[in-house]
Chains A and B, each alone.
Chain A
Amino acid sequence: MSANHDGTTLLEVRGLTKIFGTLTACDHVDLNIAKGEIHALLGENGAGKSTLVKMLFGSLEPNSGEIFWNGQAVRITSPGAAKKLGIGMVFQHFSLFEALTAAENIALSLDDGSPISSIAAKARALSYSYGLPLDPESLVGDLSVGERQRIEIIRCLLQTPQLIILDEPTSVLTPQEADKLFETLERLRSEGKSILYISHRLEEVKRICDRATVLRHGKVVGHCNPRQETASSLARMMVGNEVKAVVRAPAEGIETAPALLDIRALTRKPATPFSIPLKNINLRVRAGEVIGIAGVAGNGQGEFFESVSGEVLQQDAGSVRIRGKDAGGLTITGRRLMGAAFVPEERLGHGAAPRMKLSENLLLSRHATDGKAFVGSGGMVKSSAVYSAAQRIIEAMDVRKSAPDPEAAALSGGNLQKFIVGRELDRRPSVMVVNQPTWGVDAGAAAHIRQALIELARSGSAVLVISQDLDELFEISDAIAVMHNGELSKPLPIAEATFEKIGLLMGGAEPGHAEHTLETA
């Protein structure tokens, strides 16, 4: 049965449903992709986009529903079967092998037995013809995230797919790299290929997509033509209600305020062959301000956070100073005792112990700084004090949960992140360093966290935020610095910062050079 198949529909999905335990991740989803269109799949984190795509690519099996390919009912039982049909996929978290070369990575996904050298030549030719230059001999572990994405795209194109699925492709790119990607996608569309474009960035969806399907809580809530919608009408469809805008009161008198976090000539050798060295980083964060650090993932942000938080100690104790005192030789606990607080990037396993209760997680990170409140005489834990502190944080941050004191892993990503940020805020730290505060967090929770960070700064603390999300940094920062290849640019005051300037710095342009190209452009 292939109702209304008129030869223009490439893929049709009817009533696709996937249930994990008690959660219905995809609930009777209908989707319809025409030949030669760029179709957007919109939705918040946890709306079911990834689950839907995994079913289309054969890595998850649907509980019910039908998939039609060129009018024929098909069952896609494995990624191999999807490739045979002509479905290619560019993953969000790349599925590349770091220890192998680009050419070897490409060869692995092609089934023909042709020698690596001929595959390398083909890949090189194709990459240049699409304006995505690629060196097939280079080791993936050495490449930037943007270059890795090129390998994924070239690898996908070499399989000559009819449908290409891109999962959040621009989340790891500079604005300029994203422009380049859009050109490639438009060229593919003109060649008659279909593209399923998954994103939560509304502006780019409006810019390149012909149609959009919007998912919310696993259900399709609407189909639309994104060009006829506004960003806010799309956001309403995605979120279901209005999201409270973040308010940033002007910071006053921060020029004369003391620098509570002072980083001087911070340098670090690479710990592993694939990690980034830090090169002479200087940064001051004053009382009352929020400084943002932008940058493409993998340019040294992780190494920088480890150094500032004390996960890795510095040889020069003066390279990290907290409230005017050298802290470079102190451990995390030592720095916490000086009034600093840190929120790492990974929620589960780094920010919180997954199988421990929220109150236990609270005790783990604060037993040293709040020793008197939480630990009584003889080293006995005051469970009730810890429990009530956890409840205070849960209330302040509006953490939604199913039990009074659940395990960390039982919370959704957004709610756990609210708890972890709240745990640190509750101490009223005078220095707060956060890495990716709202990664994978839904819009409502993200706005809550951002507002809380701004308010902490305005109450007299120094706040440093490392983020890949430029929108977020523009929303909360008083100045933005850019990290590229282990070097940190001078912070640009928010009034002078634009997406173009920051984007050029993210791509590695010299600050002076960046302004020059803008003027001549």
Chain B
Amino acid sequence: MDITVNILLTIATAATPLLIAAIGELVVERSGVLNLGVEGMMIMGAVGGFGAGYLTGSPWIGLLAAVAMGAVFSLLFAVMTLSLATNQVATGLSLTLLGLGLSGMMGTSFVGQPGERLPNLDIPGLTSIPVVGRLLFGQDPIFYISIALTAAVMWFLFKTRTGLTLRSIGDSHTSAHALGIKVIRYRYLSVIFGGACAGLAGGHLSLVYTPQWVENMTAGRGWIALALVVFASWRPWRVLAGAYIFGAVWIGQLHAQAFGIPVPSQLLSSLPYLATVVVLVLISRNKRLTMMNTPASLGQPFVPDR
């Protein structure tokens, strides 16, 4: 029983950073902007979070620093693509490369240092309930934030007027502009929100998952988050499902490798990717729904006539 609970807890830990980064990118893409810099923003969040935690001794300050780092770093992307109308794909890719390089440089003195870890939730009387206690009331704070964030984004996008406006910009920025909607302002805020989320996801890696600093410690998670958004056809609950499927198969194949089952490890390592793609493709078979949820102006720069 304890083993099952432990496995479930590790799955949640593996899924949380993917979920947070993907939910942030989902909002960005719903506004019509494609930011391929998730990996770069995430690693900046990781180094910023670790550094602040290490220097102040408080993982909570580290958490705030991670969020701020991601947001500030995404501002660079926003200025380039929204104000200067540069190509979003090229700018996003360079943001990733810049983030990986810059974080490595900033983190040289942190390598090998012990980090601060965010404490798990511990509510007397509740956390000690067998089985469900640790699952529901004993996880790290970012896990709870990730679930709340998913619910909040769902509510915001589909139940509020501001969310409707954001989706309309993603559908057609020229039409939105003709209605007098401030396209660029909405997109700035979306990109910064996405950056803050990516930063938080990075902070989860260096403050919870493995509380230390290792160069390139995001290990491609930003790219997986990007793919999740597309395969989930821009719908929050599907992103959640995708992140957890990925996490589950990831942990599963690690255990399988540990047991030494006679399957090439390369094949096992590719399983999480395959499983996630297959499941998400299956649930987005409804072409019409997919079409309705695809932001039609994704990736196109917006330059109003003057």
Contact = CB atoms under 8 A, between A and B. Distances in A.
Interface of A: 54, 57-61, 78-83, 89, 91, 94-100, 104-105, 107-109, 113, 116, 139, 141, 272-274
A163 B176 CA distance: 21
- Prevailing SS type, chain B contact patch: helix
Contact of A139 (B167, B174, B292, B296): B292
Interface of B: 161, 164-165, 167-168, 171-172, 174-181, 287-288, 291-294, 296, 304-306
A273 B172 contact: no
A54 B305 contact: yes
Contacts of B287: 272-273
Contact of A107 (B161, B294, B306): B161
- Prevailing SS type, chain A contact patch: loop
Contacts of B292: 99, 139, 141, 273
Contacts of A83: 180
Given A98-B296, A273-B287, A59 B167 contact: no
A99 B161 contact: no
Contacts of A60: 305-306
Given A272-B291, A274-B291, A108 B165 contact: yes
A141 B180 CA distance: 22
A108 B306 contact: no
B23 to A, nearest CB: 20
Given A54-B305, A60-B306, A99-B292, 13 more contacts: A59-B305, A79-B179, A81-B180, A83-B180, A89-B178, A97-B171, A97-B172, A99-B293, A100-B164, A104-B164, A108-B181, A109-B180, A139-B292
B175 A96 contact: yes
Contacts of A61: 306
Nearest to B291: A273
A416 B132 CA distance: 71
A60 B175 CA distance: 15
Contacts of B176: 97, 108
Nearest to A61: B306
Given A83-B180, A95-B174, A99-B293, A108 B164 contact: yes
Nearest to A270: B287
Nearest to A115: B161
Nearest to B181: A108
A161 to B, nearest CB: 13
B291 A97 contact: no
Contacts of A78: 180
Which of B161, B164, B288 is the most central at the interface, judged by chain A CB atoms within 10 Å of its CB? B161
B182 to A, nearest CB: 9
Given A61-B306, A139-B292, A273-B288, A99 B171 contact: yes
A109 B178 CA distance: 9
A98 B177 contact: no
A97 B304 contact: no
A83 B181 CA distance: 12
Contacts of B161: 107, 113
A398 B179 CA distance: 41
Which of A80, A95, A107 is the most central at the interface, judged by chain B CB atoms within 10 Å of its CB? A95
A45 B269 CA distance: 61
